[in-house]
Every structure is written in structure tokens, then in C-alpha cells.
């Protein structure tokens, strides 16, 4: 039995050193590439950052810092409830909405596992937060920092990518503009992953009607796979994103997003630490017993 288990794990154990060797080879290749004359010409034309219009706002307004914090805060509980739903264990309680509150529907409300109900509650505030963010982005002109304005973003992202790979981080000036790879990944997160989570999540939720014709295209199993892929994306993005924030000038980066200032003081790091404490306390408090109390405000709990 143990030998069988060992044999099953054997190839997986080799994946880690194999990935490290591959990564080391890629780093060497990127370093070699950067010495070649062809690359020097390419990088002179596409330095890794696209031009922004002259009137682009500089710096991070306070609302952006709040919005960004609330996004991480809500995502924490979305991911926690998502993993509990996926765990497929018998839920500790079920919630049925009373049809006499703010939300009233023609059909009778469906009984939901407390995890799905909580997931939907946090999703609602997360989506509202996202909508406010996008409206403010466009109202203040900040959108040009996170939306590609031309195809030259692709070759510029190649330059930035080769710089990252050679472990010599590309020029980084988040206060003024993002490099092309940051821009593409923030764009994908806000304008592709977010809406895809919403669309596929609604498809799996009670608001979606079985008789809609689009269901032949967006089947439940396709929606479930895409919804799960979004989870994997958000987790991978967050690991790489926070990893780079902390390794490319942590104090300055944390200052820009968490304190709205562009210097190397410790203020942003302290605010960030405070935000982690808030998340930790909420993680401990907002467990099933408290969720049940909240559910009782608008429904029955069994
Ligand atoms: C909690 C840990 C996090 C930290 C410390 C952090 C830090 C930062 C910092 C410093 C910036 C400015 C970028 C720069 O100058 O390079 C930024 C931007 C951004 N972050 Fe995070 N982040 C965190 C979590 C997340 C999560 C979970 C998401 C989404 C899944 C996210 C999405 C974004 C986006 C979309 C931007 C660009 C925002 C804009 O300029 O409009 N971040 N983050
Ligand atoms: C944007 C609004 C969202 C809505 C309306 C939504 C809706 C739902 C619903 C209704 C379910 C339960 C499906 C069932 O009964 O089996 C669910 C499960 C799930 N959600 Fe969401 N969700 C949203 C956002 C997210 C986000 C942002 C993530 C990832 C970060 C996520 C990850 C998951 C996962 C992994 C499951 C388990 C799916 C499975 O059983 O295979 N959801 N979601």
C-alpha cells in the first residue's frame, strides 16, 4: 500500500526540481537574449512601457486604495466559501430566504447550503465594489492606466517579460504608469476574470432559468469548469502580484496603494499590516455561527 502510494507520488516529486531547472534555463536564456544586437534594437523600439496620454492623472487617489483593499477583503471570503462548496461535505446549515424583504421574487426561494448562501452574499458586495471601481476609473480618467490603448502593448509586454525572466526587474514606476505586462495582467483581472466570475456564477445560481436558450451554449458543466478556472486564476494572480509587490521595492509600492504617497517611508507598510489584521479578525469572526445570525435577518435557517 505504502509502496503503491510512493510510486504514485514519484513523478510529482520530480516535477519541482524539473520546474526549477527549467526556470534556471529560462533565466539564462533571457540573460543571453538581452546581450544580442537584435534584442537591443527590439528593446529600443519597445522599452516595456507604453506611452500614456499627456493628461493622464499621476498617483493613486484614496478611493483606489479603499477599493483595492475591499476587493481583497471580500475575495478572501469568496474563496473560503468557494472551497467549502467544492469540498462537497454536508453543509452545517441550510438557508431559505423569506420572500418579504428587499428582494422579492415570483417563484418561491430555493433552499441553499449556508456556504452557497454566504458565497452569494459576499459576491454581491464584491460586485458592487467592482462596479463602483470601474465607474470611478472612467470618471477620473484613471482607466488609461489599466486599459491597453494600442497593439504595441504586446511587444512591450515581451520586453517587460524578458526583463522579469532575467531577474533584472523592468523599470517600475507604478505611481506614474505600469509596465506593459502589469497593465495586461491588471486589465485581464478587472475586465476579463471579474466579469467571467460573475457570468458563470450567475449561471450556477438560482436566478438563472433552466429554459433559457443560451444554456445549450453555456451548459452547467461548462459554467462550473470556467467558474473554477477563475478561482485558479485569482489565486495564481494574487501569489505572483503580491510576490512582485514585495520584491520590487516593497515600501514604495505599499505606500502608493495603501497610503497614497510616493516615498520610501514605513507608513504604507503599517497600513498594509493593519489591513491584514482586519482580514484576520474578520476571518475568525465571520464563521458559520455568525453567518447563521446574519441569515436569520432575512430568512429561515435549518
Ligand atoms: C493583499 C495583498 C495585496 C497587495 C499588498 C497589493 C498591492 C498592490 C500594489 C502596491 C499595487 C500598485 C501596483 C504597482 O505600483 O506596482 C496594486 C495594484 C493592483 N492590484 Fe493589488 N495587492 C494585493 C492584492 C490584490 C488582489 C487580491 C487583487 C485582485 C485579485 C489585486 C488587484 C490589483 C489591481 C487590479 C491593481 C491595479 C489597480 C489600478 O491601478 O487601478 N491586488 N496592488
Ligand atoms: C461574481 C459573482 C459570483 C457569483 C454570482 C457566484 C456564484 C456561485 C454559485 C451560485 C455557486 C454554487 C454552485 C453550486 O450550487 O454548486 C458558486 C460556487 C463556486 N464559486 Fe462562485 N460566484 C461568484 C464569484 C466567484 C469568484 C470570484 C470565485 C473565485 C475567486 C468563485 C469561485 C467558486 C467556486 C470554486 C465554486 C465551487 C464550484 C464547484 O462546486 O465546482 N466564485 N459560485
Phi-psi sector, 167: left (phi>0), alpha (psi -120 to 50), beta: left
Closest to 48 measured CA to CA, from 137, 142, 165: 165
List the residue whose alpha carbon is closest to atom 25 of ligand 2: 197
d(CA 210, CA 228): 21
List the residue whose alpha carbon is closest to atom 4 of ligand 2: 201
Total structural domains in the chain?
A: 1
Say how far residue 202 (Cα) sits from the centre of its chain. Answer: 18
Residue among 77, 110, 119 whose CB has most ligand 2 atoms within 8 A, to mutate: 119
CATH code assigned at 100: 1.20.950
| Residues of the chain falling short of pLDDT 70 | 1-11, 171
Report if residue 195 sits inside a domain.
Answer: yes
Report if residue 194 sits inside a domain.
Answer: yes
Q: At what angle do helices 2-35 and 153-165 cross, to 10 degrees?
A: 110
Report if residue 42 sits inside a domain.
Answer: no
Report if residue 8 sits inside a domain.
Answer: no
- The predicted pLDDT at position 5 comes to 55
CA of 198 to the centre of ligand 1 (A): 20
Report if residue 38 sits inside a domain.
Answer: no
The range of the structural domain enclosing residue 243 comes to: 57-301
Percent share of the chain, pLDDT over 90:
77
Amino acid at each position: 500500500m505504502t509502496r503503491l502510494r510512493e510510486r504514485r507520488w514519484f513523478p510529482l516529486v520530480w516535477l519541482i526540481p524539473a520546474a526549477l531547472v527549467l526556470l534556471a534555463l529560462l533565466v539564462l536564456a533571457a540573460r543571453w537574449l538581452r546581450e544580442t544586437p537584435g534584442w537591443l534594437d527590439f528593446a529600443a523600439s519597445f522599452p516595456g512601457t507604453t506611452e500614456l496620454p499627456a493628461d493622464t492623472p499621476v498617483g493613486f487617489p484614496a478611493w483606489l486604495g479603499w477599493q483595492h483593499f475591499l476587493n481583497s477583503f471580500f475575495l478572501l471570503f469568496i474563496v473560503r466559501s468557494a472551497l467549502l462548496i467544492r469540498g462537497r461535505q454536508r453543509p452545517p446549515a441550510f438557508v431559505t430566504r423569506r420572500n418579504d424583504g428587499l428582494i422579492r421574487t415570483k417563484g418561491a426561494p430555493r433552499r441553499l447550503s449556508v456556504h452557497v448562501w454566504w458565497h452569494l452574499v459576499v459576491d454581491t458586495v464584491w460586485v458592487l465594489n467592482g462596479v463602483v471601481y470601474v465607474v470611478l476609473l472612467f470618471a477620473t480618467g484613471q482607466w488609461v492606466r489599466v486599459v491597453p490603448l494600442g497593439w504595441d502593448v504586446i511587444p512591450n509586454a515581451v520586453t517587460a517579460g524578458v526583463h522579469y525572466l532575467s531577474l533584472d526587474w523592468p523599470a517600475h514606476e507604478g505611481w506614474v504608469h505600469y509596465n506593459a505586462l502589469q497593465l495586461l495582467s491588471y486589465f485581464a483581472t478587472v475586465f476579463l476574470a471579474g466579469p467571467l466570475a460573475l457570468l458563470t456564477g450567475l449561471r450556477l445560481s438560482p436566478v438563472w432559468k433552466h429554459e433559457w436558450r443560451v444554456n445549450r451554449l453555456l451548459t452547467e458543466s461548462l459554467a462550473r469548469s470556467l467558474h473554477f478556472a477563475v478561482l485558479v486564476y485569482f489565486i495564481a494572480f494574487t501569489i505572483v502580484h503580491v510576490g512582485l509587490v514585495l520584491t520590487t521595492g516593497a515600501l514604495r509600492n505599499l505606500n502608493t496603494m495603501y497610503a497614497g504617497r510616493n516615498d520610501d517611508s514605513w507608513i504604507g507598510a503599517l497600513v498594509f499590516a493593519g489591513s491584514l489584521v482586519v482580514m484576520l479578525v474578520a476571518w475568525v469572526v465571520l464563521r458559520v455561527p455568525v453567518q447563521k445570525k446574519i441569515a436569520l435577518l432575512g430568512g429561515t435557517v435549518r
